[in-house]
Amino acid sequence: MIHPATVLAIVLMASMTYLTRIAGYLVLRHRTLGTRAITVLEAAPGCVLIAVIAPRFVSNSLADILALLITLVAAIRLPMLATVIIGVVAAGVLRHLLP
């Protein structure tokens, strides 16, 4: 089943999302940036990534905080897949062990 109002909402939502994807690129495409602007843009990816997961660092759950720390240590040394497995297992186990 397809409802017209639902489709309209989805199409407009997706259009807005796509707009956010291309806008930054379109604005900067033909610009030559100074060193300062480049320094700022180079810090940007890390700033975005860490901001997205920031709520994890202030979780109310002791199990979640411990699991995050274990995952953090794993991420320093191990490849992606191993880190993901360790993080998931640590969170699953700690949540059952701790209240």
Partner 1 sequence: MYQISSHLEHKRNPIPRRETYAFTSQLRFDMRAFQSPTLAAPAHDHHEARRGFVAALPVMLGFVPFALVLGAQAAQKGLSPIEVPLMTGLNFGGGSEFAAIRLWTSPPHIGLIVAIAFLVNSRHLLMGATLARFIRHLPLRKALPALFFMCDESWAMGLADARQRASTSPSFSLRYYLGLSAGLYLTWITFTTIGAIVGPMIGNIDAYGFDMAFPAVFLVLLRGMWKSARAARPWLVSLIMAAATHVWIPGAWYVAAGAASGLLAAYVWADQP
Near partner 1 in 3-32, by CB under 8 A: 3, 5-14, 16-18, 20-29
Report if residue 98 touches partner 1, rule: CB under 8 A: no
86, 97, 98, 99: which one contacts partner 1 (CB under 8 A)?
A: 86
What is the rounded distance in angstroms from the CA atom of residue 85 to the CA atom of residue 91? Answer: 10
Site string for partner 1, 28-67 (x = CB under 8 A): xx---x-xx-xxxxxxxxxxxxxxxxxxxxx--------x
Contacts of 59 (CB under 8 A, 6+ apart): 65, 68
Cβ 67 to partner 1 shortest distance, Å: 6
Distance CA 72, CA 87 (A): 8
